[in-house]
Amino acid sequence: MPEIASLTRLYSRPGFLLRRAHQISTAVFESECNALKLTPAQYGVLTVLSAYPGLDQSSLARALGFDKVTMLRVLRVLEPRGLIKREESPNSKRNLSISLTPEGRKLLKTAQAPAERAYHRLLSPLDATQQAQLLSLLEQLSTGLDSMARAPFVPPT
């Protein structure tokens, strides 16, 4: 029965398990934030802009490890909802400065409790020690292989 053996091997591969965990993570977040019509990517953008208002699009993408196309898609959803505004950057006429609107700050504040519930639901199958271990291992994996990512991750300073 080589077919079963190959499926078992597929289903135990890190890439398969990480992709599946990401699917579950997204579903858990979206179920908690459904009423707010907020995705994990949108929440990430709002969170970064709350901490670093006025970032340009490229810096914002790097702060989340997004490629330029993904960043543009997220911004094209948030802007018509009145959650962000893009303005000419005071430092460069070529770059746009992105910041939260009052409505964006309000939504981010409202999203804190459901986002925290999603975080706890996602980790709920694990005890406290396992949760810390998982997060540590994921950070180690991400850091150790960061140079192989399609999009750079550069936290803002």
What is the Cα–Cα distance from 128 to 108, expressed in whole angstroms? 27
In this prediction the pTM is 0.92
What is the Cα–Cα distance from 16 to 8, expressed in whole angstroms? 11
What integer pLDDT is reported at residue 66 of this predicted model?
97
Strand partners, 98: 55, 86
Distances (CA, A) of 115 to 26, 29, 107: 11, 6, 12
Phi, psi of 58, rounded to the nearest 5 degrees:
-65, -45
Give, as one character, the DSSP assignment of residue 152.
-
Handedness of CA 138, 139, 145, 151 (dihedral sign): positive
SS3 55: strand
Q: Confirm if 104 and 113 have CB atoms less than 8 A apart.
A: no
What integer pLDDT is reported at residue 5 of this predicted model?
74
Burial of 36: CB neighbours in 10 Å, binned 0-12, 13-18, 19+: middle
Q: What is the pLDDT along the chain (157 residues), one digit of tens a residue?
A: 557 778 999 999 999 999 999 999 999 999 999 999 999 999 999 999 999 999 999 999 999 999 999 999 999 999 999 999 999 877 766 778 999 999 999 999 999 999 999 999 999 999 999 999 999 999 999 999 999 999 999 999 8
What is the Cα–Cα distance from 108 to 46, expressed in whole angstroms? 6
What is the Cα–Cα distance from 98 to 87, expressed in whole angstroms? 7
